[in-house]
Structure 1
């Protein structure tokens, strides 16, 4: 079935791109029409999984240049910004935390102190995800690190499979809202949401705007999981085994101390970026290189480079290029004029509701958070101008709506990477059961928390 869908998407994407490229459209420039054709081809191929997203992304970027839609420095513009180097640095820092053993030490210590019952295990998965987001700037390595500890708990406490599945789901579902709190909580997505707005936001600025919404999303998601999933049996955590594992780690090693010092420096510099004006991306990259230096670092090895996924970098480049090239070619303005009303609602609550509905509709079809951001944010920024909205407002509203939304696993990579018995232990059915009621939170959050908070701090 999947192969049939991929083949239909492969052929259908080419046909639609050719039709859009040659049919007469009024009000759009030739470059804008070529941009629309190529962008639709990529979006269809992404949605139907014709090939790995990295390959589709390279095809999209190459066609933009070869067809003269935009110059190469615009198409590959992400590589000239610190955003891409923040992503590279984030993966290397995550590798250092894992390789040094610091992450496991924190997880073991938390469990020994705070985890006793099934309920405390579920809560702990969310709390650990939030705590580790300060030192591991990407949710996937955080989640896999926590799952390595969860596997020990499940085995030693003889937790039934049904409850083990719920715990695994808590690890990966919890990684979604907890990643929203810090700009570096998800160094792949969060900075790009800011970059697409065209405005600068400091590390503390993000925390000021998104910290409360992120914590609210975390509490709402956690509350929903505790409500939906009750334990089938009483759980007794075998803490002696956890103590043994912690003892086996020994005292803090030199590598762990060096990790603490370098990452501590990163956090201080991130928090003060509004003063020294050094972008968080350069800080992440410098700290990662510091972790590789002899004597003062020595945590990162040559093999650590394998943790940096080049395909993800090209996918992000393509997602950002859709918005940038669409603006240069005139595609964004044309799409906004054709698909959206001429005037945006001036009421902030109605505007937030409208943006959420549009973003969710696109996300249901495409699935990819980055692809939807690349399409929806530039269009809705253009739309919001009629109501006097600063570009940051529609950009972050789109980000919030699609970042916490999923019904099927492919709707969110944080959920997809944990799918299966060898990862988070949960199945498609478990995700759907949780994702459908989770959609209510997608609407509750902007209307009950985000808009009121942004009004208080003056963003709206």
Structure 2
């Protein structure tokens, strides 16, 4: 996804203008070429989709506007009916996303998140190394309560700022700690389906399959944990402290004391979120989708007496532009399948038959996904393009659609070289956020790419073979 607070600057204006013109020219060219084997609606879908991808990549306008251009273009040009184009809004996925933002707001407003962070630091954080480890652990623990990585990361950073100041941590080490907060949010978000309620459910939706909350944990829990440990190990090896760190725990205890005893608001927040976790974990039994659970829990958090945590102003934390961006990213695959575009792309660009060997298939899919991601940057845009095409490709080898879908997701979700390659990294860029720079991200992202390719070959595919997905 793109930054919802994105604004153009002088450096990007020329690129944006070039992207604007190029996108239109590409759309006209592709829409008028005498392509064979693709239905007319599929050709129009390809033209509009490529224009949108170019506009997203070059940040012609805010991504929400590009997304609406794509969606309305599909409908007005007769590419697909509105119920196909806007399909996401008829599924519980979109309500899971809305619910996730509201639940995150409740945890923040109640003070529950800060209390957990303070308690963890007082008990487990004693050195620079334990701070780095703690950023990953806290990110995972808070993923049970806050189903989106950005508010988790900013909550943790608000506590980290206190540690850095009170312990007088050198700037270079403080930068590494800030990077740990946001870099750690990437792999830890893979472990739970609700670890990133914006992206994870969409990866399942694009596969056309149904996976429960525990089902996701079964398929992606081990890969997510291993990716977390490998990323953490890489950071500990690459970034050594420049000075000894002495944590002033008395100051943290003072801040915890200032919060007072657990408030009624915190208690109600814990009860509602505890109920949500219980219902998410048992969705395979009661068959209520996680999205409906999320939105009902958000409603409960707003009710008087039994809730009272969410206020009318809490709706400001739900970014409508992000919802439409996700709708557009999903629509590329959905409309592409509806019009025959996906099949045509697979037939033209990919070999006739997919490798029968799952390891070769995994390596091929990972390489394709990473190359596209390097160019486009957006996780959701790459998923929208690559997943439907590679599912079509995998059909020739009898692959379960979940396999290419989760392989693409697993590759691009933990991959980044530049900050714009991952929103979890981009939102923390700069002195006022995580403190790290483009150079810090590149230095960490290049060796991290090795982990991207190690994961499917050494962990993900062997694990899937053990549990029977392959």
TM-score class, shorter: over 0.9
1:23, CA displacement in angstroms? 1.1
Deviation of the 1:278 alpha carbon: 0.1
Tell me the CA shift for residue 4 of structure 1: 1.3
Answering whether residue 175 of structure 2 is matched by residue 173 of structure 1, we say no
Cα distance in 1, alignment partners of residues 174 and 236 from structure 2: 14
1:57 matches 2:77: no
1:232 equivalenced with 2:217 (yes/no): no
Counterpart residue number, 1:19: 29
Match of residue 85 from structure 1 = 95
In the other structure, the counterpart of 1:441 is 451
SS in 1 for 2:196: coil
Q: Match of 2:391?
A: 381
Three-state SS of the structure 2 residue aligned to 1:291 is helix
Task: Name the structure 2 match of 1:268.
Answer: 278
| Structure 2 stretches lacking a partner, 5+ long | 1-10
C-alpha displacement at 1:432, in angstroms?
0.2
1:142 equivalent in structure 2: 152
User: In the TM superposition, what is the alpha-carbon distance from 1:434 to its structure 2 partner?
Assistant: 0.2
Aligned residue runs from structure 1 range 292-331, under 5 A = 292-331=302-341
Equivalent in the alignment of 1:132: 142
Give 1:187 deviation, angstroms: 0.1
Say which SS state the counterpart of residue 107 (structure 2) adopts: helix
Matched residue SS, 1:148? helix
Rounded Cα–Cα distance in structure 2 between residues aligned with 1:244 and 1:51: 46
Q: 374, 377, 400: which one pairs with 2:410?
A: 400
1:360 corresponding residue in structure 2: 370
Indicate the residue corresponding to 2:78 in structure 1.
68
* Counterpart for residue 390 of structure 1: 400
- Distance in 2 (alpha carbons) for counterparts of 1:172 and 1:53: 22
* Corresponding residue for residue 156 of structure 1: 166
Map of 1:231-250 to 2, 5 A cutoff? Answer: 231-250=241-260
Q: In 2, Cα distance between the equivalents of 1:102 and 1:53? A: 33
Aligned-partner SS, 2:354: coil
Q: Distance in 2 between matches of 1:229 and 1:189?
A: 29
Aligned to 2:197: 187
The answer on 1:10 being equivalent to 2:20 is yes
Per-residue displacement from partner, 1:111-139 (whole Å, max 9, x unpaired)?
00000100000000000000000010000
- The answer for unaligned runs of 5 or more in structure 1 is none
Distance 2:65 2:175 in 1: 33
1:284 aligns with 2:294: yes
SS in 2 for 1:387: coil
Partners of 2:210 and 2:287 in 1: CA distance: 11
- 1:210 and 1:26 map into 2 onto residues whose CA distance is 39
| Number of residue pairs aligned between Structure 1 and Structure 2 | 460
Distance 2:280 2:430 in 1: 36
Distance 1:56 1:232 in 2: 45
1:125 counterpart SS class: helix
Distance 1:66 1:78 in 2: 18
Distance 2:308 2:92 in 1: 24
Deviations 1:72-119 (A, max 9, x none): 000000000000000000000000000000000000000000001000
1:203 to 2:213 alignment: yes
- Which position in structure 2 is the counterpart of 1:414? 424
